[in-house]
Amino acid sequence: MSSGRLTTNLCGIQMKSPVMAASGTCGYGVEMEGLLDWNHVGGVVVKGLSKEPMAGNAPPRLWETEAGMMNSVGLQNIGVRAFVREKLPRLAELPVAVFANVFGYAVEDYCEVVGVLEEAEGLSGYELNVSCPNTKHGGIFFSSDAGMLAELVGRVRAIARRPVIVKLSPNVAKIEPLAKAAEDAGAAAVSLVNTFIALAVDARSRKPRIGAGFGGLSGPAIKPVALRMVHEAWRAVRIPVIGLGGIISGEDAAEFLVAGASAVQVGTASFAEPGAVSRISRELEEFLKRERIAQVSELVGTLEMGESEK
């Protein structure tokens, strides 16, 4: 069991650790039983949920890169209603905070999914995956248009009694306006970064390595960029920032906290090591002990860059 050193309050939710399992990397959470030590995990974000079941993209869906991984799963999921019936009852029994990742291709899609989840028990909050094209507005991505993002967050916030976290994409010119738009529209926190759009090529076949062509790059290769964007978002908003992108050790997690994150999510590391989330949490606790830091919150936003204070 983690000591009180790691205890974290995120959007009013008490968690035993700031280290969480990221969406899309731990199934619906229940699949990780026996693989994760839940006593050392703060929360789990289930894979993205849509209003109807989705089959996902054609294989191959994953490709190991030099310093990470590309994926194009295509948001395969069983649909929100099947999730509530089949997965949530067991999830609600886990000793961690459970967040439902929600996505759609129109504002109404997100609202319908959240509306179904609002009728169910066992969730701590929602994480909106806004890295989707708005099909009602010519395919413009919610994540790249501050106005559309604000409309989406505001509409969801109006029906949600639980905290709403907005997961931001790094595929934008500047992250600050998007983080601020989410905050102003009522988001309780922002999480970043989602994956970078990337391409892997087989020179012999002259074809992409991923069935869908382009895929999302994650893993250690993106960590320096993710750290930069987390720090920029932290400076732009007053709500909590959740950092993710290439975390494979407790010290990696500490770096994100120093950059401004109040909590972190671990994703790609779990593909190589299913128990990575709990290991990283234990390593973070050891780091705090070595550095004689009594409480993990003391680390948040302590980066010294010779700039004016936030």
How many angstroms separate the CA atoms of 191 and 193, rounded?
A: 6
Catalytic positions: 132
Q: What is the pLDDT of residues 166-210, one digit of tens each?
A: 999 999 999 999 999 999 999 999 999 999 999 999 999 999 999
Question: 82: which 2 tokens?
Answer: 């099947």
* pLDDT tens digit sequence for 48-93: 999 999 998 999 999 999 999 999 998 999 999 999 999 999 999 9
Please give the backbone phi and psi of residue 146, each rounded to the nearest 5 degrees, phi first: -60, -35
| Axis crossing angle, helix 223-236 with helix 250-259, rounded to the nearest 10 | 30
Give the H or E element holding residue 201. Answer: strand 201-202
Dist CA 189 CA 245 (whole Å)? 17
Angle at which helices 146-159 and 107-118 cross, to 10°: 20
pTM for the predicted model, two decimal places: 0.95
Third-level CATH fold of 4-57+74-195+221-299: TIM Barrel (3.20.20)
Q: What is the C-alpha separation between 199 and 70, in angstroms, rounded?
A: 8
The pLDDT confidence band at residue 271, using thresholds 50, 70 and 90, is: very high
Radius of gyration of the chain (CA): 18
**What DSSP character marks residue 278?**
H
d(CA 277, CA 176): 28
* Nearest C-alpha neighbor of 127 from the set 119, 138, 139, 117: 117
Q: What is the pLDDT of residue 140?
A: 77
Q: Is the pLDDT of residue 310 over 80?
A: no
Tell me the average pLDDT across 208-225: 95
- Contact at 8 Å (CB) between 243 and 264? yes
Q: What is the pLDDT of residues 120-171, one digit of tens each?
A: 999 999 999 998 877 777 777 899 999 999 999 999 999 999 999 999 999 9
